[in-house]
Amino acid sequence: MSTVSSSASSPSSPTLPLATRADSLVGSVIDSSTSMLAEYTHDIVKFGMGAPAPDMLPSSEFARIAKSVFSPESFTYGETQGEPILIDALLNYLQDTYQIPEEHFGKRERIVITSGGMQGLDLGFKLFVSPGDLVFCESPTYTNGSATAMSYEAEVVEVPVDHEGMQVDVLDEFVARAGRAPAVIYTIPTFQNPAGVTMSLARRQKLLDFAHRHNSVILEDNPYGTLRFSGDDIPSLSQLSPNDPLIFGVRTFSKFVAPGLRIGWVDVDPDVRGLVINAKQTMDTCTSMPTQHMVAQWLNEGCANNHVDHLRGAYLERKKSMEAGLERLFGDEIRSTDPDGGFFLWVTFEDESVNTEDLLPVALEEGVAYIPGPAFSPAGAFTNALRLCFASNAPDRIDEGLTRLRSAIDKYRPPHSRARH
Amino acid sequence: MSTVSSSASSPSSPTLPLATRADSLVGSVIDSSTSMLAEYTHDIVKFGMGAPAPDMLPSSEFARIAKSVFSPESFTYGETQGEPILIDALLNYLQDTYQIPEEHFGKRERIVITSGGMQGLDLGFKLFVSPGDLVFCESPTYTNGSATAMSYEAEVVEVPVDHEGMQVDVLDEFVARAGRAPAVIYTIPTFQNPAGVTMSLARRQKLLDFAHRHNSVILEDNPYGTLRFSGDDIPSLSQLSPNDPLIFGVRTFSKFVAPGLRIGWVDVDPDVRGLVINAKQTMDTCTSMPTQHMVAQWLNEGCANNHVDHLRGAYLERKKSMEAGLERLFGDEIRSTDPDGGFFLWVTFEDESVNTEDLLPVALEEGVAYIPGPAFSPAGAFTNALRLCFASNAPDRIDEGLTRLRSAIDKYRPPHSRARH
């Protein structure tokens, strides 16, 4: 057991008998930013959290739906695997919209409704990571995912990402160096968080080959897949290798409906699903019932297609606004990724001495929030990078936010001078 | 890594690379009963699940409230520790209703809103149980709690329960026998699940003394504490030892408001709270936002006091009906506990050859559901006992259900004959 000092005065318990894994509970810079921003009272343009804009959330539709669908059954315990009415509505939506053969998307016996995509990650790592196991993740990555792996005492290894996604060619070298294969490869192949890049088809096939050779599980985190606004579709890993027990698919309603619902799903081999259900019983019994009933009704009313079309149009416009603003205000001081969907631009300052963690308090003072690059690396790399969410603000607010960011960088580091740092 | 056979046909992955803890994901008989019952089409009186009756759920109030409180803020990410408006409403309710000095209940810096009491248990065991650690639980116990401890590879030890709750006098002997102290003592001291008994004040004080001597954490699961309908209040362990870092208090809205909400809270030392927040970030980011906003408004409108008064009156009446029915129909064939609150009677057949797992399919065929005794013991004890929830049905349905149970036992084992088993 590890111990921490306690400020409490109980004479016989100077230290708490914490589990060994408590040392690995590193906390989330991303989530903490929600609490941190709540303490500021002046106007801040929020490019930080990966959340849809308030005007993109169907809250009035849900208020109407709540009044009609809430019944006592919406408030009692439900099945751990999720409400049948929601699972059916979801499968109908996926099949009608994407016109993909049934086996490529989940069938009912492959689906468990989860409390957000985050619980999908918790379930996957809880099932497949023993203490000391290797987990390969992307670098940069969504560190709430890698932190969950670490909460089960994984040893996380960062694999570089370029414009084609995870550099899967280096995986065998990483295995040779470690002397063992990863238990889990954690990837966000489509509109990656935070880099915005999409893994190429060739790399997806190489990754599948790697996983099969080493009997490693691929945890495919796909929160943004429905939000492509340009370019051609690339099949998900789940679609490329249907019915593959090594692919643990994690999906969510957070990005194309609303994150506050905390509803997602996992799409897994039926044998794995039984274990997922057992594991979820030890987590929260079942997912919130009133929200499951609301989303089922929203899908059954056919609200999703119009809504997603609207999101795609709006997010493309917002991405273009942000790219134009960055070009106008920062020119060749920065380079940025150019995503075909999702929420994020990943911006890197050419001047490697720019430290985006040091810049953040200046930016907040100026009235703009972002997430610093090191928040996306378990090792704290990417000190001169930052993540900007273009989805959360309309174009005029994006311009205002970028103007404030320009002002912040000028205050933080006057042009042609590094004297302040 | 342990492995399971997989029915999938991927040539290079005959077995799944499961984590060692996957062997310990035993599944919940209690939760599975929800799915099992959904498959029956004939009328069944449900004494199984520990859920409030449909007519005790304020679903129409919530439909009204949803329409007025839902805003875009109800559908985006919230703070991991919970919505401030809900935490304030909760603390006001607890303080106004129970008139207990502030330090005896949680202060804001002690509270984290959780996704049901179940997530509170997951958080507690995740923070305090390393693989191989001892966890003491009650026998019988709420096995979803002990299963969560086992999911972190705890070695669970069952401590007998009598009419005064956990037999704390035997704890030191158990420590001597094991050669080590428990990391966690998991207890439901008030209106215990499933036994319905309440730990006496003397035993509570002995349990606190034991925990302090051994630096063991007490995970105090208190879902029913608000539902006393007879007898005198006994302070919770949290109240008896305020600001004690060794007490991890788990509470929930499930039993006095509605379980489908999946909202609970933990009441812990502020130092522990920081770790709870980090751990919850790896589980679900935050608890469902629309339901948090609904419950905050429900509390702020003052709905809770009338509702809880109504529940207490109804549940006392229902308990008396069930006791009278058992006396009338089963006489001295059984003995039952006599709770002062909560949801459950624990019924033991004097004939030890009665096997309540074998009886269950007969009972379901007759149209009555219960949970068999072994579901409340990790070791599968209590084969001649069963749990009856009196809270879920009105008195006339209780009579009907018990008549069907009488009929089931007669069919399962004709009077004066054990020939069939």
Instruction: Report, as an integer, the average pLDDT of A161-165.
Output: 97
DSSP for A260-288, please give it. Answer: GG--EEEE--HHHHHHHHHHHHTTTSS--
Q: For residues A261 and A145, give the distance between their C-alpha atoms in angstroms, rounded to a whole number.
A: 19
**Residue B262: pLDDT over 60:** yes
Cβ atoms A25, A350 nearer than 8 A: no
CB of A238 less than 8 A from some CB of B: no
| Band of residue B95 on the pLDDT scale cut at 50, 70, 90 | confident
Q: For residues B106 and B287, give the distance between their C-alpha atoms in angstroms, rounded to a whole number.
A: 19
pLDDT at B3: 39
| Farthest CA pair distance, chain A | 66
**Architecture per CATH, B14-57+306-412:** Alpha-Beta Complex (3.90)
Tens digits of residue pLDDT in A175-188? 999 999 999 999 99
Cβ neighbour number for residue A338 with a 10 Å cutoff = 13
Q: Give the total residue count for chain B.
A: 421
CB of B216 less than 8 A from some CB of A: yes
Determine, for residues A129 and B272 on separate chains, whether the beta-carbon distance falls below 8 Å: no
DSSP B269: -
Smallest CA–CA distance from B215 into chain A, residue: A13
**B262 conformational bin, left if phi > 0, alpha if psi -120 to 50, beta if neither:** left
Determine, for residues A76 and B57 on separate chains, whether the beta-carbon distance falls below 8 Å: yes
**Nearest CB partner across the interface for A281, out of B22, B31, B294:** B31
Cβ-in-10-Å burial (0-12, 13-18, 19+) of A155 comes to: middle
Determine, for residues B17 and A128 on separate chains, whether the beta-carbon distance falls below 8 Å: yes
Determine, for residues A119 and B76 on separate chains, whether the beta-carbon distance falls below 8 Å: no
pLDDT at B11: 41
Q: For residues B375 and B386, give the distance between their C-alpha atoms in angstroms, rounded to a whole number.
A: 9
**Residue B32: pLDDT over 90:** no
Give the angle B271-B272-B276 at the CA atoms, nearest 5°: 130
Check whether domain A71-303 has CATH 3.40.640.10, yes or no: yes
Tens digits of residue pLDDT in A302-334? 999 999 999 999 999 999 999 999 999 999 999
**Nearest CB partner across the interface for B245, out of A6, A27, A75:** A6
Q: Which segments of A135-195 does DSSP mark as H helices, in order?
A: 143-151, 171-178
Indicate the Cα dihedral angle B204, B206, B209, B211, nearest 10°.
Answer: -70
Name the minimum distance, in Å, from the CA of A96 to any CA of chain B. 26
Q: For residues A203 and B389, give the distance between their C-alpha atoms in angstroms, rounded to a whole number.
A: 55
pLDDT at A40: 85
E-strand ranges in B170-314 read: 184-187, 217-221, 247-252, 264-267
**Residue B8: pLDDT over 60:** no
**Residue A12: pLDDT over 70:** no
**Nearest CB partner across the interface for A127, out of B22, B38, B49:** B22
Residue of B360 and B41 predicted with greater confidence: B360
pLDDT at A10: 42
DSSP for B75-102, please give it. Answer: GS---TT--HHHHHHHHHHHHHHH---G
Tens digits of residue pLDDT in A209-262? 999 999 999 999 999 999 999 999 999 999 999 889 999 999 999 999 999 999
**Residue A182 tokens, joined:** 């990863």
The dihedral through the CA atoms of A25, A29, A31, A32 has a sign that is positive
A245 to chain B: which residues are within 8 Å by CB?
Answer: 6, 8, 10, 13, 16
**Nearest CB partner across the interface for B54, out of A76, A119, A270:** A76
For residue A44, which of A367, A420, A415 has the smallest C-alpha distance?
A: A367
For residue B220, which of B238, B207, B242 has the smallest C-alpha distance?
A: B238
| Band of residue A35 on the pLDDT scale cut at 50, 70, 90 | confident
- The partner residues of B220 in beta bridges, in order of sequence, read B187, B249
Cβ neighbour number for residue B209 with a 10 Å cutoff = 14
Instruction: Report, as an integer, the average pLDDT of A50-56.
Output: 89
**Nearest CB partner across the interface for B79, out of A10, A35, A217:** A35
Please state the three-class secondary structure of A50-94 as a single string. Answer: CCCCHHHCCHHHHHHHHHHHCCHHHHCCCCCCCCHHHHHHHHHHH
pLDDT at A281: 95
| Band of residue A416 on the pLDDT scale cut at 50, 70, 90 | low
3-class DSSP assignment, residue A184: strand
| Band of residue A32 on the pLDDT scale cut at 50, 70, 90 | confident
**Residue B10: pLDDT over 60:** no
Cβ atoms A286, A166 nearer than 8 A: no
The verdict on ipTM greater than 0.90 is: yes
B294 to chain A: which residues are within 8 Å by CB?
Answer: 290
**Residue A9: pLDDT over 60:** no
* Pick among A108, A281, A294 to test the B interface (most B CBs inside 10 A): A281
What stretch of H or E contains B306?
Answer: helix B303-330
DSSP for B139-185, please give it. Answer: ES--HHHHHHHHHTT-EEEEEEEETTEE-GGGHHHHHHHHTS--SEE
Mean per-residue pLDDT over chain A, rounded: 92
pLDDT at A14: 53
CB of B63 less than 8 A from some CB of A: yes
Name the minimum distance, in Å, from the CA of B35 to any CA of chain A. 5
Q: How far is CA B276 from CA A23, A318, B81, in A?
A: 12, 37, 9
Tens digits of residue pLDDT in A75-105? 999 999 999 999 999 999 988 887 666 565 5
B121 to chain A: which residues are within 8 Å by CB?
Answer: 282
B6 to chain A: which residues are within 8 Å by CB?
Answer: 245, 269, 271
pLDDT at B6: 38
For residue B397, which of B312, B325, B341, B307 has the smallest C-alpha distance?
A: B325
Cβ neighbour number for residue A353 with a 10 Å cutoff = 10
Cβ atoms A210, A168 nearer than 8 A: yes
| Farthest CA pair distance, chain B | 66
**Residue A414: pLDDT over 50:** yes
Instruction: Report, as an integer, the average pLDDT of A370-398.
Output: 96
Cβ atoms A151, B279 nearer than 8 A: yes
Tens digits of residue pLDDT in B44-63? 999 999 988 888 999 999 99
CB of A126 less than 8 A from some CB of B: yes
Domain positions in chain A are: 14-57+306-412, 71-303
Name the minimum distance, in Å, from the CA of A327 to any CA of chain B. 30
CB of B389 less than 8 A from some CB of A: no
The dihedral through the CA atoms of B113, B115, B117, B119 has a sign that is negative
Tens digits of residue pLDDT in A344-363? 999 999 999 999 999 999 99
CB of A37 less than 8 A from some CB of B: no
Q: Give the total residue count for chain A.
A: 421
Which segment of A283-292, A336-345, B42-51 scores lowest on mean pLDDT?
B42-51
Determine, for residues A260 and B51 on separate chains, whether the beta-carbon distance falls below 8 Å: no
